[in-house]
Structure 1
């Protein structure tokens, strides 16, 4: 069954206007100089030593963060999903909490802890009798550690989805013939490898396009230089041309990631696969449990406790919250609006992809992933160049610009999540529904939507969390007089208001956590009521 053509056409048109048209604007700005075609600046800039150094730094940051996320996320996912680890149910939820903490907040925390006069360096100096601070976060290693800790849940999330998709009979046969270690190495891990590699690519792309962490830790990478080129030097074309190598690299990686995950689930809201053998850890149970909780302590407990200490007395929260209520409300409004629109568009586009002919399907699916490769700063520049015109001034001067940025940036991932969810249920249910229920929209509402509720909820929550903490696009396109909570935190940080930054960061985290728990509870309640 296909959705009404006008619904599908409207969804694809919206996708083209919000996500693809800005990319066309980028190409136009990069290739047009002073109103005429000019490729010389592009060719010259691509060969500069500065360009090569920026590219090397960006690759080191992204590659290191991706490797660290895999080294943490894959073992964490395996021991919490496929072993007799105590408390694995709790760990299976707790590992998602770091996603609620935007990476730039991790950077703020660790730059404070490992400052020259920070508590960690003072402790190490006192213990070892050193005369100077031995540790520093203001380098590439610091950026790698922050981004790896912040994004490892993405790798764990995809690895868990892969483990839940493995056919238990294959593992059972390998266990009977080869034993646990060979079964894991020879069967389980190869079957999960596409999910692991896709997770590594996701982290790589998120890291290479990140602006906040390198900016806070003062490391020169592409995203920071693009922002400086545009905001400080007012050189829009220079910023676009500067980003070309980065854009090409991310486009290739996104294509590889889309091919790897074609037909595979990105996330799963279930608690696991029934009847799957759990490997006995034996004497390794305690070390494995300790490592898991140590990871969560570094990625959740340390940031939260550090922010709580920096915030100081409880009165700080009331003092900073009152003037920030408008910013918090604006963040919630924009994030919820963007998440709702994105989930709706993702469902229609993913459903149309599933019903498309085999030939154009792969090309269309890759097309939906292209905007994910665009750095947020570059996307903001494209939106400005596209909509900052007299005819569209009414749109450019409104908060709708921020929503457009969020939808354009996060829609590709939501499409992947919903598309994978749609592939999990039997299409014959739709065909049977035609015999009993008249009307395509009624079949969609009564049959399809309830069956893909989990995928829609996952896509909505992921977009909501990412939008609540988004900084790169928001800094460029938010209209004058409007402020989101991340922008307020970012501005206060540069004024040295550490207690206000810490208190507002905890308020942002608590707000996201409460709303996500409520959403998961509603999804779980509806799922139970429908059985």
Structure 2
């Protein structure tokens, strides 16, 4: 059976007007909270908004066209581009930062490999990196939204309008919820991270929390000298944190309905352009998808490869630079071995975090099927973990685990400075929203009738979940575990504050090295991570698609066998 849809065989997501209005209300309250802060905190939050708005100005147009191509065009290699796009979601942000520095930075390709005026610097540099890192997120959300548009409506519109007009006036209009979800997601991704803003010296709310974490102050200096100043600091921190939390809630409200859920029967494939019916438009979208993939994924990889293979030699005429493929391959292949200790620590800590995420997500998902209160609580916690600045998560874990000898909780302190509990905990918190959302959508789609039938046969709650629900959704749960693992490996905003002595995760090491410039060693390590993440993500996407195709074919054959003859 040909697979014409990225989510064929999955139930169609739906936005409701009530959900959209609630999300907009949360955003309005977040804006009011930001305005209630002092001038300094407002300035920091305004910098965050300016960064996110600039990134959205890049990511939204690129992602919408990208999503249109993947969701509505038919061309050779579309499934490969779709898999690469999904894999690009999980490339660590600091790897993108290193890649664009090799192309447009201080000693990048535009300056000939030597010091010069960089094209990327300050706020503009942070916007550029965040924008292209967020473009794949927008593309995936738009694709999912387009898959939800009713095929009948699009085909009826084709009777009176051209395919291009149907795409703009019907498909995109019906997918407006996905566009809004993508915009809010870009804001949340930019607001919670410091990996890029720290490198480009941009003062955002999250960056200020990280900078002042050791002092416990947002004032930019020492601790407040009087109670009034301390009260203002606490009010600003509370208001800013709540604003980020509400932003995360809006993201979940808008994005959660777009995540496809497995269906037991094949669903109707959505309408698509074809090379025969709309050759020019189909070809234009195919070219746009290839170009955007090249800019967002291939160009960073080429920049890192160029830097990793660059050699400088001194001659009588001065220093000369030459590129060597052999050196690039040698440096890239050797990089994981040279940083093997950091890589092993990263994988070990991330594995603990992923295990914690899966246990919590499965328990909450099973509980949430029976309790509305559980669903609301889970949503509130996930919203906080998604959009609250990463450094604030790190500060919270420090307050939880680090105690003086006089504290009744002093027995927790060894967990902070002598184990990897602290980095594993912050990585689990940061990975929980996205991985948990995948788990939730997988387990929420398990037919209740199937569980009731098992209960009638004497199966208890544990048996129903362990023997029926979890095996039924095993591939989706495996994908969620992989998502949690990859997100945990790349987490740096909170991990920077809590990793113990002698344990340096790879994400932290790259972040530290980037402050000294992107030399050939950093470029080779970043290239190895980029290629590894994209390759593994693409392979996982194809494996999941193959499993989905087989399941659809099996369901189709079963329904065909049950159909009456004649």
TM-score bracket for the superposition, by shorter chain length: 0.7 to 0.9
Report the 3-state secondary structure (helix = DSSP H, G, I; strand = E; otherwise coil) of the residue aligned with 2:89: helix
State the match for 2:394 in structure 1.
380
* 2:350 is the counterpart of 1:335: yes
**1:456 aligned to which of 462, 474, 477:** 477
Contact 2:496 2:508 in 1 (8 A): yes
- In structure 1, distance between residues paired with 2:376 and 2:200: 40
**2:191 aligned to which of 182, 193, 208:** 208
- In structure 1, distance between residues paired with 2:298 and 2:137: 19
Report the 3-state secondary structure (helix = DSSP H, G, I; strand = E; otherwise coil) of the residue aligned with 2:175: helix
State the match for 1:36 in structure 2.
none
**1:296 aligned to which of 293, 298, 318:** 293
Q: 1:517 to 1:173 in 2, by over 3 A?
A: closer
- In structure 2, distance between residues paired with 1:494 and 1:116: 12
1:193-232 matches, cutoff 5 A: 193-231=176-214
Q: 1:322 to 1:276 in 2, by over 3 A?
A: closer
Question: C-alpha deviations, 1:7-57, integer Å up to 9, x for none?
Answer: xxxxxxxxxxxxxxxxxxxxxxxxxxxxxxxxxxx9999323x33322221
**2:99 aligned to which of 95, 109, 114:** 109
Q: 1:511 to 1:492 in 2, by over 3 A?
A: same
- In structure 2, distance between residues paired with 1:209 and 1:500: 28
Question: C-alpha deviations, 1:450-473, integer Å up to 9, x for none?
Answer: 333354234223222221111111
Report the 3-state secondary structure (helix = DSSP H, G, I; strand = E; otherwise coil) of the residue aligned with 1:230: coil
Report the 3-state secondary structure (helix = DSSP H, G, I; strand = E; otherwise coil) of the residue aligned with 2:120: coil
Q: 1:350 to 1:167 in 2, by over 3 A?
A: farther
Contact 1:109 1:307 in 2 (8 A): yes
Q: 1:119 to 1:178 in 2, by over 3 A?
A: closer
- In structure 2, distance between residues paired with 1:524 and 1:275: 15
User: Structure 2 length as normaliser, TM-score?
Assistant: 0.75
Q: Runs of 5+ in structure 1 lacking a partner? A: 1-41, 124-131
Structure with bigger helix share is 1
Contact 1:158 1:266 in 2 (8 A): no
- In structure 1, distance between residues paired with 2:46 and 2:35: 18
**1:395 aligned to which of 415, 418, 421:** 415
Deviation at 1:204, TM superposition (A): 0.9
* 2:272 is the counterpart of 1:278: yes
- In structure 2, distance between residues paired with 1:297 and 1:529: 31
Q: Runs of 5+ in structure 2 lacking a partner? A: 1-32, 225-232, 310-326, 404-409, 555-566
State the match for 2:407 in structure 1.
none
- In structure 1, distance between residues paired with 2:336 and 2:84: 27
Contact 1:162 1:195 in 2 (8 A): yes
1:258-269 matches, cutoff 5 A: 258-261=252-255, 263-265=257-259
Between 412-421 and 511-520, report the one with greater CA deviation: 511-520
Q: 1:288 to 1:82 in 2, by over 3 A?
A: closer
**1:153 aligned to which of 136, 147, 158:** 136
Deviation at 1:178, TM superposition (A): 5.1
Report the 3-state secondary structure (helix = DSSP H, G, I; strand = E; otherwise coil) of the residue aligned with 2:525: helix
Deviation at 1:192, TM superposition (A): 2.2
Report the 3-state secondary structure (helix = DSSP H, G, I; strand = E; otherwise coil) of the residue aligned with 2:369: helix
Report the 3-state secondary structure (helix = DSSP H, G, I; strand = E; otherwise coil) of the residue aligned with 1:84: coil
Report the number of matched residues.
Answer: 477
Deviation at 1:216, TM superposition (A): 1.2
State the match for 1:309 in structure 2.
306
State the match for 2:38 in structure 1.
47
